[in-house]
Structure 1
Amino acid sequence: MLDTQRLLTFATVVRVGSFAAAARELGYTQPGVSQQMKALERDLNTTLFVREGRGLKLNEQGEVLAERVDRLIDDLRATEERVAAVTRLKEARVRVCAFPSANATLVPAAISRLRTKHLGIEIELFEAEPPESLDGLERGDYDVVVAFRYDDQPAPDLSDNLESIALLDEPMVLMCSDDHPLARRKQVELSELRDERWVAGCVRCRQEFVSACEYAGFTPRIDITTDDNLAVQSYVVAGLGLAMMPRMTQSFVKHPKLRTRPLLPERRRHVTATILRSQRRTPAVVRVLESLRQAAASLASATPI
């Protein structure tokens, strides 16, 4: 079995060009680096270097390993992390990663339900948006990832290692101040709003908003952008623009002077929970998924427009 530390040392030697330079970078002695390389050669039952003058050069076997060493290190680390994840899950510790608005609404409700039924499960929370969160799941950084995509965006191309479960389809809504003329409307056609000023949210929400406007036949005038959902609402209430946001964002914080109205044509954000296939029967993960489904169903029925 290849030793990860020896592979890391080999990768450093290849990158910096000598045992001495690798020793300086890694904080080892030069004999220490030499001993690790000899041990790696014993592991592989072959030589990796040939002497060239006063220096060393990779031989053919060394070149082969050099081409693959970074991938080997990544695979070994991911494997170690997944083994550790199984241990954590047997101890009923689940790492949940979600995007910000889900971490403010869906996930707390799910954990609350979980605590009332399964007191032994410990939840460790993280926050990230897709695709970074899904990449982290693949690496073994998380056990459950709550992610989203919009109507225009294709479903993520998941590897065979991952499995997604649908949680919630939520409509995008128009946000305006209570003294705006649109506040008296029951619903609004997006194509009517080509002359309005806009406040835009996070990068992916902004992309969806621009795409929706282009589909409606215009390019929106975005005056303000911010990742802070409360700030979006505050700017809208101050009369600085309208906003198009997922309905979930109004369920955890709603300014008293904010009004939301359905938009036509309707556009939706699709929220999912994704796990490693190898963990789909792990009791702690199964219970977390059940609680997320129940919380999503409650959120869908309880959030008014």
Structure 2
Amino acid sequence: MFDLRQLQVLSEVARTGTYTAAAEALGYSQPAISYQMRTLERTVGAALVTRSGRGVRLTQVGQTLARHAETVLAALRTAADEVSTLTSTGGGQVRLAAMQSGCVALVPAALGALRRTHPELEVVVTQTECPVSHRLVLAGEVDLAMMCDLELDQLDQSDQGGRRDGQSVLPDQRLLRLPLLSDRRCVLLPVDHPLAASPTVELADLAGERWVLESGRDRFLAACQDAGFTPRVAATSDDQLTIHCLVANRIGVAIMNELGVGAHTDPRVVARPLRDWPARRIFALLWPDMAKVAPVAALLQSLRATADDYTRRSAGRVGSR
């Protein structure tokens, strides 16, 4: 049998890549981490790590055991959460991580609905990028995450599963992935722009424009290159309201996902879907056992209902603004 403390040490070494960082994260001394790893290697009967520069790299045996260790530790966290909920006099707490557009367009409405049906339930929200949310779910630091990915079957092999923009995450077979909705990539244009009357816009038709871009732009720049131009960047912002205002004041045109488009209304701005651009899939990500925890299940139900309502209301909205 494996010692849970040693499995926790292995998991942290796998996450951080060094004994020193693992010791700091767990509140141990570095020699204590080394001792726990040596003891675990004797139990396994094989080396779990090898030296790699100033850090360590897991062997194949180490990777296999670390993967199972994450599953075991996640199951224990789920058990602790469920027991805490059953013994709590209140309604429990759920920790949710979500991307920016989800926080703007879906999460507030879902939490508002949940407050009416489960007034005693507390939800703690962290806004962060999808790769960070993925790591937080794996580490048990959040109970579930609202994330996005591109339609993988529409991406070419050079795009590495949609990760070229630094936002998307490939499917993780250890985790439960529950679809919520999909949305399109849109262009924000001044209302009197020549292309504002078009139902959809071709990227190549915007070659001469100035652009307001988010900092995560690698995939967009690659698409522009494929379309035969390099965009002139007039401004950089990751704040959706700022982007809307810059477009409204003719600083440049912008691209934004459909969820973000609906977050702000300005009569000086219209949104038109980008032609031939892959849709995003919006989904909830969590450890399978967490879906059985009553507070988490309640939040999932509210998120799904809100997403369904958003899909019904948004049908035909983008392209008519």
TM-score (normalizing by structure 1): 0.72
1:289 counterpart residue number: 300
The amino acid that maps onto 1:102 is G
In the TM superposition, what are the counterparts of 1:124-273 in structure 2 within 5 Å?
Answer: 124-151=124-151, 152=155, 153-154=161-162, 156-203=169-216, 206-273=217-284
Is 1:110–1:295's contact at 8 Å kept on the other side of the alignment? yes
> Matched residues in 1 for 2:222 and 2:207: separation?
13
Give the structure with higher Rg (CA).
Answer: 1
The amino acid that maps onto 1:270 is R
The amino acid that maps onto 1:175 is L
> Matched residues in 2 for 1:214 and 1:302: separation?
35
Identity %: 26
Cα pair distance change 1:287/1:3, threshold 3 Å:
closer
The structural deviation recorded for 1:210 is: 2.4
State which drifts further: 250-259 or 222-231.
250-259
Is the counterpart of residue 123 in structure 1 residue 119 in structure 2?
A: no
SS at match of 1:245: strand
In the TM superposition, what are the counterparts of 1:99-118 in structure 2 within 5 Å?
Answer: 99-118=99-118
SS at match of 1:264: coil
**What's the RMSD between the two structures over aligned residues?**
4.0
What CA deviation, in whole Å up to 9, does each residue of 1:32-62 have, x standing for no partner? x99x99xx89xx9xx98xxxxxxxxxxx99x
The amino acid that maps onto 2:247 is V
Is 1:170–1:269's contact at 8 Å kept on the other side of the alignment? yes
Is the counterpart of residue 96 in structure 1 residue 107 in structure 2?
A: no
The structural deviation recorded for 1:144 is: 1.2
The amino acid that maps onto 1:179 is D
The structural deviation recorded for 1:65 is: 9.4
Gaps of 5+ in 2: 50-61, 156-160, 163-167
> Matched residues in 1 for 2:293 and 2:75: separation?
18
The amino acid that maps onto 1:180 is H
The amino acid that maps onto 2:81 is A
Is 1:190–1:265's contact at 8 Å kept on the other side of the alignment? no
State which drifts further: 175-184 or 122-131.
175-184
SS at match of 1:252: coil
Cα pair distance change 1:166/1:216, threshold 3 Å:
farther
Is 1:85–1:143's contact at 8 Å kept on the other side of the alignment? no
Cα pair distance change 1:87/1:157, threshold 3 Å:
farther
Cα pair distance change 1:142/1:102, threshold 3 Å:
same
Is 2:78–2:290's contact at 8 Å kept on the other side of the alignment? no
SS at match of 1:97: strand
SS at match of 2:97: strand
The structural deviation recorded for 1:298 is: 1.4
Cα pair distance change 1:298/1:285, threshold 3 Å:
same
SS at match of 1:187: coil
